[in-house]
Chain A
């Protein structure tokens, strides 16, 4: 008898909750195929799992998005959606997430992350950071590497389609430089500009720049 009651109660509860949720609960849904869901809800319910609610991810596999330039983020999400960006981790994690995002949702996501405050990492090696500082602001004349600051801004905050790099994970910056250097996976859009820059940057120089940027606010 108890089991019968338990069955009925559970069944009724499941049905009740199910019926009430057949239309998207736009405040807490994780539905990636519903254009009525806001970018904020998607950021909190889906993106936050890897990128953090405030866009400050912990795992360097996933970039920090807090304070990111909206134009850059919009271009990247659209590139994932169209498969124009195909670096290994990008396609493994982001193609599926972005496949049904609407332009409106993408714009809202970009604005959400622009509104978050970036938390910088801690600088580890002073000499390395100083070297990175010099490369970032003055480039490497011997190999014709331009100053990163000329496009990404003197503080690495970026502007328009040029991404914010300050506070970004060191490892993430290194991997993306490697993608630009060795592949065409991010060649679409403004990414094409980075290939010659990354090509002329040596491994130690890339590590220095990444170490410097990750510690900037």
Chain B
């Protein structure tokens, strides 16, 4: 059935979007500062009505709908066009005089366990949100976009309302989030189509355009539940995010072969503006640590697919901070744990109108070789997600994760004399987890998304016993403007 044959007469959302410009102009003339305090609902409504007049940064720059770059208009999944936008250094479009945008996210998390959400990577710790209480999670400020014909950036600063606790009270903090600066060229002639570029970023995997790394991995919505207690490989855990800075070069040849080589170092000194971590802690790594990414891509008809491989070898100081009395980073001399990550990933996309499907899978393995004495650990993580959107307004997604961790017989309290500084560094018990997350979401206008996720744990803390106690309902509202 051709859906378009009936949708236009009844597609009020389309008409609302077209009418948004004059509506907002009218509203803007009437807005007074007193109105600002009306409340959350009004704020979201107002932001929604700003749709066409005050779009997020890249949409303003290109003049296009979010749907051009994001599959079905839903972040973070990128379309081939969105990938090219990023690979060509965010330089497509019209340079903006004020190159900033912002996002806000609100949520309510409900879990039967008293501590609330089980504390995935995204929510910054265990029990940060009280059961069922509507909360304001995060606000992010984005800056960058097109700087010159060949240079562009995407830098994010975030206020996390639940980033930590001071004196037994939740404390919000502002910190530098993901940042990515690029120089890129696109060469087209009769023989080839080649995109190449140089990239500097502060989170291994953030430079990638297939969203397989932890940056855009499981439960990417701010405040989402994540994968429970499991210890994830670094490519998925983002442990190095906002702690390191990497420089690399990449090339995408004939829309078939993508190669990216980068080296990461501890981000301090001149790069410290990119590493103000949300919890004030910085992970220190030794020397230059390699990141390698290779992907094969193919597109046909409305479909496109990718199969890829990623390698990260990170030498992490166990102390996690400069040694006492040792002064700055250069004097760190404690044991170093080598985290060796290998990941295979796959993605398939069907981009049509009104149906859009994205299926992605990541299978990551990490070997940890502890520097203090030869003990090792492993973490294996499999994640998969299928998303569907209809008319870029309605959608559903189903995600699955299965993480297994080794259990080291050398415990933190009994290092056996072989690890010089291993306190808490290794996996003293299997913390693996497994579960599913079905989700439904609605995008009334392109820069607002309301969603409901339910995460079912079949295993957590390495056991199936009482795992379902961590089952969590997560209701969220997200907006960008």
Most chain B Cβ neighbours within 10 Å, of A53, A58, A99, A171: A58
**For the complex, what is the distance from the CA of A29 to the CA of B92, rounded to whole Å?**
8
CB distance from A209 to the nearest CB of B (A): 13
Flag B3-37 by CB within 8 Å of A: 1 or 0 each: 01110110100100010000000000000000000
Contact between A96 and B62 (Cβ–Cβ < 8 Å)? Answer: yes
Interface residues of A in 65-80 (CB under 8 A from B): none
Q: B439 at interface (Cβ–Cβ under 8 A)?
A: no
**For the complex, what is the distance from the CA of A11 to the CA of B247, rounded to whole Å?**
11
Q: B363 at interface (Cβ–Cβ under 8 A)?
A: no
5 interchain residue pairs of minimum CB distance: A96-B63, A92-B65, A33-B94, A96-B64, A30-B92
Contact between B186 and A93 (Cβ–Cβ < 8 Å)? Answer: no
Q: Known interface pairs A48-B188, A60-B301. Does A203 touch B5 (Cβ–Cβ under 8 Å)?
A: yes
Flag A96-120 by CB within 8 Å of B: 1 or 0 each: 1101100000000000000000000
The 14 listed contacts between A and B (C-beta, < 8 Å) are A3-B268, A6-B265, A7-B269, A10-B200, A32-B92, A32-B94, A33-B93, A48-B188, A50-B81, A59-B301, A96-B63, A96-B64, A97-B62, A175-B4
Q: B377 at interface (Cβ–Cβ under 8 A)?
A: no
Q: Which residues of A contact B (CB under 8 A)?
A: 3-4, 6-7, 10-11, 13-14, 17-18, 21-22, 24-25, 28-33, 44-46, 48-50, 53, 58-61, 86, 88-89, 91-93, 95-97, 99-100, 171, 174-175, 178-179, 181-183, 185, 203
Q: How many residues of B are in contact with the other chain, CB < 8 A?
A: 53
Contact between A24 and B149 (Cβ–Cβ < 8 Å)? Answer: yes
- Using a Cβ cutoff of 8 Å, how many contacts connect chains A and B? 144
Q: Which B residues are CB-close (under 8 A) to A181?
A: 5
Q: Which A residues are CB-close (under 8 A) to B11?
A: 88
Contact between B247 and A6 (Cβ–Cβ < 8 Å)? Answer: yes
Interface residues of B in 20-66 (CB under 8 A from A): 59, 62-65
Q: B100 at interface (Cβ–Cβ under 8 A)?
A: no
Contact between A178 and B181 (Cβ–Cβ < 8 Å)? Answer: no
CB distance from A4 to the nearest CB of B (A): 7
**Set B64, B148, B181, B270: member contacting A93, Cβ < 8 A:** B64
A176 and chain B: residue at smallest CB distance: B4
Flag B228-270 by CB within 8 Å of A: 1 or 0 each: 0000000000000000000100000000000000000100111
**For the complex, what is the distance from the CA of A101 to the CA of B149, rounded to whole Å?**
17
**For the complex, what is the distance from the CA of A183 to the CA of B251, rounded to whole Å?**
44
Q: Apart from A49-B84, A182-B6, what are 8 other A-B pairs with CB-CB below 8 Å?
A: A17-B148, A32-B92, A45-B92, A48-B188, A60-B352, A86-B18, A88-B11, A96-B68
B68 and chain A: residue at smallest CB distance: A93
Q: B185 at interface (Cβ–Cβ under 8 A)?
A: yes
Contact between A30 and B9 (Cβ–Cβ < 8 Å)? Answer: no
Contact between B95 and A33 (Cβ–Cβ < 8 Å)? Answer: yes
Contact between A3 and B88 (Cβ–Cβ < 8 Å)? Answer: no
Q: Known interface pairs A21-B151, A49-B84, A89-B353. Does A14 touch B183 (Cβ–Cβ under 8 Å)?
A: yes
**For the complex, what is the distance from the CA of A3 to the CA of B200, rounded to whole Å?**
14
Contact between B95 and A31 (Cβ–Cβ < 8 Å)? Answer: yes
Q: B369 at interface (Cβ–Cβ under 8 A)?
A: no
Contact between A17 and B151 (Cβ–Cβ < 8 Å)? Answer: yes
Contact between B188 and A30 (Cβ–Cβ < 8 Å)? Answer: no
Flag B293-309 by CB within 8 Å of A: 1 or 0 each: 00000011110000000
**For the complex, what is the distance from the CA of A179 to the CA of B185, rounded to whole Å?**
38
Contact between B299 and A59 (Cβ–Cβ < 8 Å)? Answer: yes
Q: Known interface pairs A14-B181, A182-B5. Does A31 touch B149 (Cβ–Cβ under 8 Å)?
A: yes
Q: Which A residues are CB-close (under 8 A) to B67?
A: 92-93
Contact between B64 and A97 (Cβ–Cβ < 8 Å)? Answer: yes
Contact between B148 and A22 (Cβ–Cβ < 8 Å)? Answer: yes
**For the complex, what is the distance from the CA of A178 to the CA of B7, rounded to whole Å?**
10
A43 and chain B: residue at smallest CB distance: B188
Contact between A96 and B93 (Cβ–Cβ < 8 Å)? Answer: yes
Q: B413 at interface (Cβ–Cβ under 8 A)?
A: no
Contact between A178 and B148 (Cβ–Cβ < 8 Å)? Answer: no
Contact between B63 and A25 (Cβ–Cβ < 8 Å)? Answer: no
Contact between B18 and A91 (Cβ–Cβ < 8 Å)? Answer: yes
A30 and chain B: residue at smallest CB distance: B92
Contact between A182 and B8 (Cβ–Cβ < 8 Å)? Answer: yes
